[in-house]
Amino acid sequence: MAIAVVFTVIGIHRVIVENDIIANYWIFMVSLGALMLYRYQNRKK
C-alpha cells in the first residue's frame, strides 16, 4: 500500500512541476498496479 501512495504522490508532484500528465502516465499505472496487487493479496486472507 505504501508503494502505491508513494508513486501517486511522486506522479502528482511531477505533473505539477512538468505540467505534462502524459509523460508521467507510467507512474500512475505503477501506482494502480501496486494498489491492485495489494487488494488482491488481502482478498485471499
Amino acid 43: pLDDT = 87
Q: Kindly tell me the number of DSSP H helices and DSSP E strands found in the chain.
A: 2, 0
**Nearest alpha-carbon partner for 14 in 1, 26, 32, 2:** 26
Amino acid 45: pLDDT = 60
Amino acid 36: pLDDT = 95
**Residue boundaries of the structural domains of the chain:** 2-43
pTM (2 d.p.):
0.82
* pLDDT tens-place string over residues 1-45: 899 999 999 999 999 999 999 999 999 999 999 999 999 999 866
